[in-house]
Chains A and B, each alone.
Chain A
């Protein structure tokens, strides 16, 4: 019995080792495209299926967190099997661009979306936008009580009332943006103020939105669309989003985006996929299904969201975010939020 079992295991392992090789054809139809997606299958799976169906490309997609995939790509280096890196946030994309692992996209592709939402060096393009907002408990906080910018949350009256996610990629990208806009000293002072105010810390945005909706904390710094996702699942909520009225790091619209690996085996299909993400159909999908901001002009966001142009956005080169990401983490740690 034991021997039979060993044989079965050995055969299964052998079969597993033999599978998974692909052919190297160059035409896009029937070719294989390897995508590393930091965006969840539940969000973009249908879109990817549609691309595969329309183009006949054999899409091999690997879903994981954006930060994990960025770390994986950095470990893989030029040996990476990936053609496209599709990430949640500019920091993950910037990390790979900084490592020299992304090729330059054609100007025609880059110019599809406003300049503010892409890498100024052309290594990646924004595909949808996620606004940084304050989520608040409508039973305890009114919008006019919320400070004009994130800086007001260091006041005593917000002690223990602002949830933050200091280990989360989008919070760290926001801190990086704040360093670029307000300087290192001011950012550290703000983080220290938040820490001194005993801000409860959460692992991610979704946990903050849940905590606010369930009455565990009054407000939180998050991305806008989690509230809409939760509403779609659980019906009407007691939480609401507040957009800052002035341009600040806390009012940034952080794009999710995509770039093509320098080492891509199938750059043709990779570009076709990115252009597909910028098509009207895909942009409408982002608006209605993931509740993100479409970035291509002319496509309307989800009803109830303020227009993209009406959100005061600071002038910031997103490609610089990654250059201060390590510093952002250092400051968050120095302030005692890690």
Chain B
């Protein structure tokens, strides 16, 4: 076992030659699990199949776009950004999670909501706010008289995307830390390990599945982002893909380029799989509630400073810029109104997407974790691949498919919700997988050996144990759907409004006041479900 904790020293979970006692009585998944898990392949797979069809029919001329030096350069630049953002988002997210779960810092609930909040700010809004705040004549220079260099290029893109994505690491690591068996740390401490050593050799390794899931989400999100990188003027690969859509009648080159993105995504996915190793992450014993660690004065001060900086950089500054724009616009007689329809649309679409994603993630991840096979592995990979595609690519593929084969479902809320769930499913499966890995399969075996069927076991044993982790996944889907734009624009029912659409529509035509008002409402409206779903969730309350 990689975690180095003595209690649980064998590595049977993923070990092909594990003792039979630790396996499910039958290695074959029940048929209904395959039906339920396979059902998600339809929305997840449609964009992939549509791309495949278009690429197979591509002329050699379309392929030539792949083999230019510039393409190689952009792939390298995107990869660099992915590595930087993943490293910083993980470090920040896990650090904040540890502080707010395992220590006795005060006002944890309020800090928790604030630290997670940047997740719901569209990344292009974060980028816009930093561009407006910095620079020789930016808002900060106006207010203080100190001209600043403009935040842009690689540092700008790195900053904006780190702020947009560290909440993934924060929320997933928080959930994992809550499920953590303190006996492991206590044993290490009892054997004389220092606190730092315990964190490094016990806590951190136990967080590996959660960090892997978070790293994939962060990396793939960074890969698929267009708004922030283009505003920050960092030439990334998605920029070329979007250019194909605005500057070309022939959509084949865009499809060919998307294949490159899929290959990069697949590399990341396989790398993460390899690094998972064969470790087991569950405890054999019942877990006890955690006792928060007392931080001494210096430690506590450092903790508060870290959290405060995070909140200032991730929430206070962007919100400050939005408020400044709103006030300047109102002073210039711009009109702003509350968009109830957009609020309702955002909440409805996001809530439905979260439920659908949770319902799809459970069977898919039970297949992937408990009944590992080539098929179940590809099921999981395809979920991540679809997450890594630019949303416009997914949306247009769905248009092509649904206009021809789905008739009245085209431009319906049902289809929109299913596509939302499909593109964000990786967030739900990531959290679900991390939760499942922390459940000892022998508990399930016990249920089955007592004569309960696989379905009863799932419902009565597994689900109650993983439910909180699944809910975190659902919350992630909810919160990111709140800010989704390209799929909403193209696939929404005519007249269906969301706050993200309002923000984009206004910001695109320089209606700063209106865009700011909608963005602020988006934050407020998201903060409430964030509080209920994420922070009040038992997962987070000791």
Give bound CA distance, A163 to B490, whole Å: 30
B356's partner among A9, A19, A74, A235 (CB-CB below 8 A) is A9
Residue of A nearest to B232 (CB): A203
Residues 224-237 of chain A: 1 if any B CB is under 8 Å from the residue's CB, otherwise 0?
A: 00100110111100
Residue of A nearest to B509 (CB): A40
Least CB distance, B151 to chain A, in whole angstroms: 10
Q: Are A167 and B243 in contact (CB under 8 A)?
A: yes
Q: Are B490 and A67 in contact (CB under 8 A)?
A: no
Q: Are B489 and A63 in contact (CB under 8 A)?
A: yes
Give bound CA distance, A328 to B235, whole Å: 19
Give bound CA distance, A333 to B135, whole Å: 29
Chain A residues touching B, range:
35 or more
Give bound CA distance, A17 to B406, whole Å: 11
Q: Are B489 and A167 in contact (CB under 8 A)?
A: no
Least CB distance, B485 to chain A, in whole angstroms: 9
Which residues on A sit within 8 Å (CB–CB) of B392? Answer: 68, 71
Give bound CA distance, A323 to B492, whole Å: 30
Q: Are B399 and A72 in contact (CB under 8 A)?
A: yes
| Stretch of B191-199, B245-253, B290-298, B526-534 at the chain-chain interface | B245-253
Q: Are B403 and A79 in contact (CB under 8 A)?
A: yes
Q: A13-B414, A21-B408, A172-B247 are in contact. Are A42 and B514 (CB under 8 A)?
A: yes
B161 lies within 8 A of chain A by Cβ: no
Q: Are A68 and B486 in contact (CB under 8 A)?
A: yes
A149 lies within 8 A of chain B by Cβ: no
Give bound CA distance, A298 to B403, whole Å: 43
Least CB distance, B228 to chain A, in whole angstroms: 10
Residue of B nearest to A226 (CB): B510
A65 lies within 8 A of chain B by Cβ: yes
Give bound CA distance, A166 to B247, whole Å: 9
Q: A42-B505, A68-B490, A172-B246 are in contact. Are A75 and B396 (CB under 8 A)?
A: yes
Residues 83-101 of chain A: 1 if any B CB is under 8 Å from the residue's CB, otherwise 0?
A: 0000000000001001100
Which residues on B sit within 8 Å (CB–CB) of A62? Answer: 492, 494
Give bound CA distance, A168 to B230, whole Å: 11
Residue of B nearest to A12 (CB): B352
Residue of A nearest to B354 (CB): A9
Chain A CB within 10 A, most for which of B247, B463, B492: B247
Size of the B side of the interface (Cβ < 8 Å), in residues, is: 72
Least CB distance, A192 to chain B, in whole angstroms: 13
Q: A76-B403, A216-B150 are in contact. Are A169 and B246 (CB under 8 A)?
A: yes
A63's partner among B68, B150, B409, B505 (CB-CB below 8 A) is B505
A325's partner among B247, B332, B417, B489 (CB-CB below 8 A) is B247
Least CB distance, B328 to chain A, in whole angstroms: 6
For the complex with contacts A67-B247, A326-B248, A328-B247, 16 further pairs of A-B residues with Cβ separation under 8 Å are: A2-B463, A19-B413, A40-B505, A40-B508, A42-B514, A77-B403, A81-B410, A200-B233, A201-B235, A202-B230, A203-B231, A206-B510, A210-B131, A232-B334, A233-B329, A233-B334
13 sampled A-B residue pairs with Cβ under 8 A:
A9-B355, A17-B409, A20-B408, A60-B495, A64-B490, A65-B508, A168-B246, A213-B137, A229-B509, A229-B511, A233-B513, A235-B331, A333-B70
Interface residues of B (CB under 8 A from A): 65, 68, 70, 131-132, 135-138, 150, 152, 230-231, 233, 235, 239-240, 242-251, 325, 328-329, 331-332, 334, 348, 352, 355-356, 359, 392, 395-396, 399-400, 403-404, 408-414, 417, 463, 486, 489-490, 492-495, 501, 505-514
Interface residues of A (CB under 8 A from B): 2, 5-6, 9, 12-13, 16-17, 19-21, 34, 40-43, 60-65, 67-68, 71-72, 74-77, 79-81, 95, 98-99, 166-169, 172, 200-204, 206-207, 209-211, 213-216, 226, 229-230, 232-235, 238, 322, 325-326, 328-329, 332-333, 336, 338
